[in-house]
Amino acid sequence: MKTGRKPAVERLIAMAHVADVQRSTDFCSLLGFLVVGTFKNDAGVLCWVHLESGNANLMLSKADAPVIAEEQAVLFYLYSDDLTGLRERLLASGVAVAGITYPLYMPKGEFRLADPDGYVLLIGQND
């Protein structure tokens, strides 16, 4: 609900803990994300990354404990200007992607997939 007051929070970027930051970064690149910031540990292992694609931002950080897909209590909703084309590119890259559905809240279509750590991604057709 917009009230005309200046919001207290101006921007939000989700940060997900993942088992392998490089593997997850490679997966996100299939969705069009580009790396805009990184941190490597003393051994040169990628431990944190900031990804961006248009107005979408995501940070990934190396998990301190095993990432268990069934315990992920977050769902990421993304939007694409070319839902069908994105799905076809993901399938061609060997990513398991569900078919496009047309729920009431997204009549132009959406599909579901999971990232390498089991995080659920729903991708809807942008207006």
The model's pLDDT over 47-66, given as tens digits with 9 standing for 90+, comes to 999 999 999 999 999 999 99
CATH of region 14-125: 3.10.180.10
Residue ranges of the domains in the chain? 14-125
Tokens standing for residue 3: 């009230």
Report pTM: 0.88
For 19-83, give the DSSP string.
Answer: S-HHHHHHHHHHTT-EEEEEEE-TT--EEEEEEEETTEEEEEEE-SS---GGG---EEEEEES-H
95-103 — which CB contacts under 8 Å span 24+ positions? 95/27, 95/30
Which pLDDT band, with edges at 50, 70 and 90, does 2 fall under? low
